[in-house]
Structure 1
Amino acid sequence: MDAHCIEPATGNFSVAPAVPRTYAWVVFALTFGLLLSDYMSRQVLNAVFPLLKSAWGLSDTRLGSLSGVVALIVGLLTFPLSVIADRWGRVRGIVAMAAVWSLATLGCALATNFGEMLVARAFVGLGEAAYGSVGVALILSIFPMHLRSTLTAAFMAGGAFGSVLGMSLGGVVAVHLGWRWSFGTMALLGILLTAAFWLVVTEKRICSDHRNAHERRPNGQGVCSSLRMLVAGLFSTISVVCAYVGSGLQLFILGSLFVWMPSFLNRYYGLAPDKAGAGAAMFVMIGAVGMVLCGIVTDRVSQTVPARKWGTAIAYCLISFTLLLIGFHVKPGALQLVLIGVGMLVVAGTSGPAGAMVANLTPSTIHASAFATLTLANNLLGLAPGPFVTGVVADRVGLLGALQWIPLMALLAAVAFAIGRSNYSNDLRRLDALRRAAKKS
């Protein structure tokens, strides 16, 4: 592809789409339901780790790779598949993606060895790769602009709820019916939701409304930039690169804990897989709530001084490092669980500040691509390698020893954010000068 065409993220167009309100909310409900299915299919594996380890004699390295391969594929393919879906049709793209991850989850249920499971999990990642970006784009295209922030936040929160449901329900089903039925249940749910979405949501109706809205846009709002200019905008400053890197490194910890908490509770607290999955789901919820709370705190303290966002990101890194390091070194018991829980509350707090910094440091016309790049960094630096590396270390020093090591990643993330903060003011001045020069020309 020689060029990348982008529409500005902001503009004067404020005409509400012509989709009937009831129909729009039905579309939202089905799209949100598929998001739940997305994360349930992804995270159910974590709940059955103990059973898979026993059934196939898998090492922790192999268990970690079964989880990490999904995030790896998502990270690699999010951007290109989002572009394809925009050109092919978002509704058709969503149906195809949901069908792929649902059938791949069924393949996990039918797998007879590690190799087959790994391939099936890779196809789960293939189906899920672009769903987040395409799903939210579809939702925003059929609702008025004044609801965009609310709908985006609600849609993204579905990932945490899906993770909780996947681990808790998957653990219960595995104990009573076997681990294969855990995957089979998630696959069946996905297939049913895909069929409902395909029957109710039509490309013709969505596209006609989107096309009518597009035709009412003022001339000149579309912006086409070459691939070179796009890349230059995405990586124009040291500080924006530090925001990408810092965010990804910090999510290394979150990705590891999401995947390995059920096994940790099973091995060191003697909980059965269903209870371990439910317990781990509570920690996932704490992490999700922490994202929101830390974002609110960051906005409050940086309201008059935007540069303070860097300081809050560094603080979240150092607090999570301290709490989790101590938490995994104390003896199993109530104190350990409290320390881990509070650590989980702030460990993903950097997500909000990192997103805000990326938005401040990139042109508004490429914000969609900028956030796709941030997603890429989050997956390739954090969510994909985190579970795998933790598994590799666990095979050598035990799972507890591995979990005692991973908080150190927060120090590296803090260093990245500190470097970004030191360059932030100069980078903003340089970008401002470039914008003024562009206007004059």
Structure 2
Amino acid sequence: MSRAEQALEAAAPGGRIGMYRWRVCAMLLAATTINYIDRQVLGVLAPFLQDEIGWNEIQYGYIVTAFQAAYAIGLLCTGAIIDKLGTRVGYAIAISVWSLAAMSHSLAASVVGFMLARFMLGLGEAGNFPAAIKTVAEWFPRRERALATGIFNSGSNIGAIVAPLMVPVIAVTWGWQAAFLFTGALSAIWLVVWLLWYRAPERQPKLAAAELAHIRSDPPEPSVKVPWSRILRHRQAWAFVAAKFITDPIWWFFLFWLPKFLHAEYGLTLLGLGLPLIVIFVLADVGSIAGGWLAGRFIKLGWSVNRARKGAMLVCALCVVPIVFAVQADNLWLAVALIGLATAGHQGWSANVFTLTSDMFPRRAVASVVGIGGFAGAVGGMMIATFTGFLLETTGSYVPVFMMAGSAYLLALLVVHLLAPRLEPARLEG
């Protein structure tokens, strides 16, 4: 009996479904965790590197903008490259670049040196989400993708938790250069495991026929690649692009300015930053998984995919609104609670926004759509990085940025609904 016949037989009622696909999800979780550890090292060390290297707020904004610019360029290109080369090779190339770039920060001794290192890091790290989203689309049926995305996306929060826990200790013990070297080495270890272990579902001999049938239980899709010009004809693509452009900059602000905000407003030391940042990103981690679970729960209650996805996104958007009061908080832990609720809202939102791509586009186009949307988000990140640098240098006030954060998600949800009122699949043929 052929493997295809075994799969059909295993798909019959009563057949047991394996769990191998969740091992793949665990690999994506590990990669995303490392991805965010690498990028978060600078944010954790920023208040103290600023004194050592001698940059001002505007120059720090430029360093962050260099990362965002490369990230934008990388996302615009890597989605199509990964669609062409496949997730195994495409992911390997991306993580090779970002591993070397992360370690190169240890050689930087000036603003320009950090800008160059951040630029290369942005190019490599841009491949993570297009590759991970495409892997989820290949390994999970549509009804499980939001949860799988929420799980691997929670790695961004785990990375943001591990970084303030680990980086200050390494920096104080062995110097700030060692922090960049250590985190870059983690990427290299993941790369070796990925190349030795990962195969596509049809080529993975350890995958049971029943699980393969479960993975392929959605209607079959054509395998012809889709050019960007055809993707961008559809309002569904612009809905995802708009969501990323409006809300991604808020997450970038959280990553690169929260340590500076806590240091400036509450006088926290390098070691003192650890616990507040850990609490904030633990809450974000909970929000990431809860956001994906909530949409799936709504679907199980009989809601349409459209209503369930947007209902979950609305709940997440409302969680961010109270952050407007964080700047006036006279107590550190009240500020931490408000910011943590906002980061949880963002990550739950993000899990559902990423899943919009596989709701509305076939697997063969998912990485390209994610890349285009990620480009838009990174461009928004460039804008907020430069804006925040000039704002803080001239006024020292975080109020305008927190006001933007509180309103961004509701605005984005309105735009998504106007562009994709029913989340209908895009018809790419023809």
Q: TM-score w.r.t. structure 1 length?
A: 0.75
CA distance in 2, matches of 1:48, 1:282: 18
Give the AA of the match of 1:402: Y
Match of 2:121, SS state, is helix
CA distance in 2, matches of 1:228, 1:344: 34
Match of 1:273, SS state, is coil
The aligned counterpart of 1:320 is 320
Deviation at 1:298, TM superposition (A): 5.0
| 2:175 corresponds to 1:178 | yes
Give the AA of the match of 2:107: L
CA distance in 1, matches of 2:353, 2:164: 28
CA distance in 1, matches of 2:279, 2:181: 23
Give 1:115's match in structure 2, choosing from 112, 115, 139. 112
Q: How many equivalent residue pairs? A: 405
Match of 2:330, SS state, is coil
Deviation at 1:68, TM superposition (A): 3.9
Unpaired runs of at least 5, structure 2: 1-6, 11-17
| Gap change, CA 1:366 and 1:92, over 3 Å in 2 | closer
Q: Are 2:74 and 2:124, in contact at CA under 8 Å, matched by a contact in 1? A: no
Q: Are 2:280 and 2:340, in contact at CA under 8 Å, matched by a contact in 1? A: yes
Give the AA of the match of 1:341: G
Following superposition of structure 1 onto structure 2, how do residues 19-418 of structure 1 map, counting pairs within 5 Å? 32-88=29-85, 90-135=87-132, 137=134, 151-198=148-195, 200-201=196-197, 209=203, 221-223=222-224, 225=226, 227-233=228-234, 236=235, 241-298=238-295, 300=297, 303-304=302-303, 306-307=306-307, 309-310=309-310, 313=313, 316-321=316-321, 323-355=322-354, 362=361, 366-381=365-380, 383-398=381-396, 401-418=397-414
Unpaired runs of at least 5, structure 1: 1-12
Identity of aligned residues (%): 20
Give the AA of the match of 2:71: V
Q: Are 2:97 and 2:123, in contact at CA under 8 Å, matched by a contact in 1? A: yes
CA distance in 2, matches of 1:34, 1:308: 28
Match of 2:55, SS state, is coil
Deviation at 1:109, TM superposition (A): 0.6
Q: Deviations over 1:378-413 (max 9, x none)?
A: 3322x4433443222111121xx1255333244354
| Gap change, CA 1:176 and 1:271, over 3 Å in 2 | farther
CA distance in 1, matches of 2:267, 2:140: 48
Match of 1:232, SS state, is coil
Deviation at 1:42, TM superposition (A): 1.0
Q: Are 1:102 and 1:187, in contact at CA under 8 Å, matched by a contact in 2? A: yes
Q: Are 1:258 and 1:280, in contact at CA under 8 Å, matched by a contact in 2? A: no
Most deviating of 30-39 and 115-124: 30-39
RMSD: 4.2
| Gap change, CA 1:223 and 1:390, over 3 Å in 2 | same
CA distance in 1, matches of 2:374, 2:56: 29
| Gap change, CA 1:39 and 1:183, over 3 Å in 2 | same
CA distance in 1, matches of 2:417, 2:146: 27
CA distance in 2, matches of 1:118, 1:344: 27
Q: Are 1:64 and 1:388, in contact at CA under 8 Å, matched by a contact in 2? A: yes
Give the AA of the match of 2:383: P
Q: Are 2:130 and 2:368, in contact at CA under 8 Å, matched by a contact in 1? A: no
| Gap change, CA 1:22 and 1:125, over 3 Å in 2 | same
Q: Deviations over 1:312-355 (max 9, x none)?
A: 6456445523x111121232444333333333332444334544
Q: Are 1:171 and 1:275, in contact at CA under 8 Å, matched by a contact in 2? A: no
Q: Are 2:75 and 2:372, in contact at CA under 8 Å, matched by a contact in 1? A: no
Deviation at 1:360, TM superposition (A): 5.2
Q: Are 1:255 and 1:384, in contact at CA under 8 Å, matched by a contact in 2? A: no
Q: Are 1:320 and 1:407, in contact at CA under 8 Å, matched by a contact in 2? A: no
CA distance in 1, matches of 2:407, 2:272: 32
Q: Are 2:149 and 2:292, in contact at CA under 8 Å, matched by a contact in 1? A: no
Q: Are 1:142 and 1:210, in contact at CA under 8 Å, matched by a contact in 2? A: no
Give the AA of the match of 1:336: A
Give the AA of the match of 2:222: Q
| Gap change, CA 1:397 and 1:82, over 3 Å in 2 | same
Q: Are 2:41 and 2:180, in contact at CA under 8 Å, matched by a contact in 1? A: yes
Q: Are 2:221 and 2:363, in contact at CA under 8 Å, matched by a contact in 1? A: no
